[in-house]
Amino acid sequence: VPVLRRTDVRLDLLDVSPEMIEISKRTLEAYAERTTFICEDALEYLAKAGGYDIVFAAWTLHNFPQDDKKKLLTAIRENLANGGTFILLDKVYPMTGQQELLEHQNARYRKYLPSDVAQAIITHEIEDASDAFRMDQDTPLATFSKVGFASAEILDRIERDVILVAKK
């Protein structure tokens, strides 16, 4: 919403979940002329898309198993115009203290969510923080370089959440 409100950009908005796409369509109804919704797996879509100035991923990359993260970052770079920018908002743990940050977050859920909801999100958080999915700061930064981004930098961090900007 802030991006659409403050700029005149056109956005292609992708999620694999039909429910998420429906919610987004309702939320962004006022911007229908500048938004295109795509309900598809990100890797499958990027295999045939192309030529974006900016690619933006919000709390989605962490859902991909480690090998697929590398494939996805490669595909994102291929879909960027030269000089294009990839902006990542996601859980990228610092190199130490991961367990404490996870427990701190989960304690917060227990404080303000009904217990069944808290348990569901905590189960999801624990899976996201497992070796199969967790991003530790050095790994994504090394992977950006490996797949050919010219630069990658974490601009801001609050606990385990970051804003990372990579340039092609």
Ligand X SMILES: C[S@@+](CC[C@H](N)C(=O)[O-])C[C@H]1O[C@@H](n2cnc3c(N)ncnc32)[C@H](O)[C@@H]1O
DSSP secondary structure, 136-152, as one string: BTHHHHHHHHHTT-SEE
90 binds ligand X (CB under 6 A): no
60 binds ligand X (CB under 6 A): yes
66 binds ligand X (CB under 6 A): no
Does residue 163 contact residue 155 with C-beta atoms inside 8 Å?
yes
Torsion of CA 108, 113, 116, 118, to 10 degrees: -30
Chain positions 96 to 125 lying near ligand X, rule: CB under 6 A, are none
Rounded distance, CA 61 to CA 92, Å?
A: 10
59 binds ligand X (CB under 6 A): yes
Closer to ligand X by CB, 138 or 156: give it: 156
Stretch of 8-16, 29-37, 133-141, 147-155 lying at the interface with ligand X (CB under 6 A): 8-16
Q: How far is the CB of 84 from ligand X (least distance, A)?
A: 20
87 binds ligand X (CB under 6 A): no
Closer to ligand X by CB, 58 or 95: give it: 58
Among 1, 8, 18, 58, binds ligand X (CB under 6 A): 58
Residue 66 has which token pair? Answer: 């480690």
Among 4, 11, 20, 121, binds ligand X (CB under 6 A): 20
Rounded distance, CA 149 to CA 66, Å?
A: 18
Q: Is the dihedral of CA 52, 63, 109, 140 positive or negative?
A: negative
Q: How far is the CB of 100 from ligand X (least distance, A)?
A: 22
Chain positions 23 to 52 lying near ligand X, rule: CB under 6 A, are 41-42
16 binds ligand X (CB under 6 A): yes
Rounded distance, CA 79 to CA 18, Å?
A: 23
Q: Phi then psi for 58, rounded to 5 degrees?
A: -110, 110
Residues at the interface with ligand X (CB under 6 A): 14-17, 20, 41-42, 58-60, 63
